[in-house]
Amino acid sequence: MTKQKAVALLLSLMLLAPFGIAAPVCVKDDQGAELCLDHPAKRIATLSPGATELAFAAGAGDKVVAVVNYSDYPEAALKLPLVGNHTRIDLEALLALKPDLVITWRTGNPPAQMEMLRALGLPMFAIEPRTFEGVSKVIEQLSILAGTEKEGFAEAERFRKGIAVIAKQYRDAEPIPVFYQVWQTPLMTINDNHLIGKVIRLCGGVNVFGDMPRLVPRISAEVVLETDPHAIITGSVEGAEDNQLDRWKSYTGMTAVAKNNLFFVPASPISRPTPRLLEASRDICQRLDVARERE
């Protein structure tokens, strides 16, 4: 295409845009793979609870037509049709809803089923944000794909600013060793590559298992005792009793136990790569402040 023709095309597209004539949209995912749609998506399927939240955050909530189990935020998502579990999708139900964009979880969705969807020609966009900036980026990208740039970019910026404020606030905070318990049996935690690890660091905490090679290491109680964290945090599940930290109470020699720094924060905001990380971060930072007072 000659330069003149390209300019002419661009100009005409720009003129047409306000008339709502949909133009092609292209976005690169975090691994550099590019997805182009002929026009912004109108029917979006989100194959993880996090993706559902992010789609809504991008302003595309009313375009989501298919979700998987546990897509419980925002409340509007609860009414959306289910197509199975993120580990096992009901492909027929998904196809029947005729999505024109499928948001997948790179490591969480079953590769075999994803390959099948790809082979059927469905446009797929894989996400797996690992940083705060990554979360903002994904919200922006989803909003481009959905044609809701205004709301999406605004939300992304709000999140960025919120995180920056917290970062500034806690930049010089007293570092405090923290253990984050993901699961009780088997005993699992996270390293600093995980978003939860990044939240802890944001609040001036030092994740005692931050250097572990695995993203979600399985450790023993002995090792936890050895590292002697000053605060232990875990996620609290709605409707269930908060007893996941009871097992530590018998180890009165542990600093965290002695100072009664066993904290619960709501599980889903901290566990999902979504704008709710902002509230989750504030929660954790507050808890760490309490722990600092007790030092």
Look-up of token digits 């024109």: 100
The residue among 108 and 266 lying less far from another protein, judged by its C-beta, is: 108
Out of 91, 173, 223, 267, point to the residue binding another protein (CB under 8 A).
91
CB 69, min distance to another protein, A: 8
Task: Give CA separation, 226 vs 179, 200, 209, 220, 262, in Å.
Answer: 12, 20, 11, 10, 17
Can you tell me the distance from the alpha carbon of 91 to that of 83, in angstroms, rounded to the nearest whole number?
7
Read off the tokens for 160.
Answer: 């960025």
78 binds another protein (CB under 8 A): no
69 binds another protein (CB under 8 A): yes
Can you tell me the distance from the alpha carbon of 183 to that of 181, in angstroms, rounded to the nearest whole number?
6
β-strand pairing of 44-46 with 88-89: unpaired
Read off the tokens for 244.
Answer: 């996941």
188 binds another protein (CB under 8 A): yes
83 binds another protein (CB under 8 A): yes
3-state secondary structure of 234: strand
Q: How many CB atoms lie within 10 A of CB 212?
A: 19
187 binds another protein (CB under 8 A): no
CB 171, min distance to another protein, A: 33
> Residues 64, 56: contact at Cβ < 8 Å?
yes
Look-up of token digits 């194959």: 47
Part of the chain binding another protein (CB under 8 A), chosen from 35-43, 45-53, 89-97, 272-280:
89-97
82 binds another protein (CB under 8 A): yes
Out of 13, 15, 96, 237, point to the residue binding another protein (CB under 8 A).
96
The residue among 110 and 134 lying less far from another protein, judged by its C-beta, is: 110
Site for another protein in 101-130 (CB under 8 A): 107-108, 110-113, 115-116, 119-120
3-state secondary structure of 230: coil
- For binding to another protein (CB under 8 A), which residues are involved? 69, 82-85, 87-93, 95-96, 98, 107-108, 110-113, 115-116, 119-120, 188, 214-216
